Amino acid sequence: MRFMFIVKSAHNGPPTPQILEAMHKLADREIKAGRMLDNGGLMPLAMGAQVRITDGKLSVVDGPFVEAKEVIGGYAIFELPGKEEALASAKEFMQLHKDFFPGWEGTCELRTFAERP
């Protein structure tokens, strides 16, 4: 089964060198273990834009977005036998933040890819 982990946080301070190193090692391990297929970090929302449809009208809104609370900071795609493995993996990832990024709060959202028809 394929999963996407989406990491969201309201925290906008720079990550500590320790968490960067720990995440790098974890990603390296997961890629070498053949479980992580792809991953990436995203630049701040202010550097992006939103294309919206509201009231039947299409509009482009540039950042920053004051109403945004938790912002997506990165994602990873995993191929795993099942949801239990995905949960174990996401917990390990978040535990690293607990250990190496004091004060950080956020969410790792775990989503299952839709089965193709």
Q: Does 32 bind other proteins (CB under 8 A)?
A: yes
Phi, psi of 35 (to 5 degrees): -95, -35
CA distance 108 to 78: 13
Q: Does 51 bind other proteins (CB under 8 A)?
A: no
Restricting to residues 97-116, name those near other proteins by CB under 8 A.
99-100, 115-116
Residue (57 or 116) nearer to other proteins, CB: 116
Restricting to residues 63-102, name those near other proteins by CB under 8 A.
77, 79, 81-82, 84-85, 87-89, 92, 95-96, 99-100
Bridge partners (DSSP) listed for residue 40:
75
**DSSP H or E stretch at residue 93:** helix 83-100
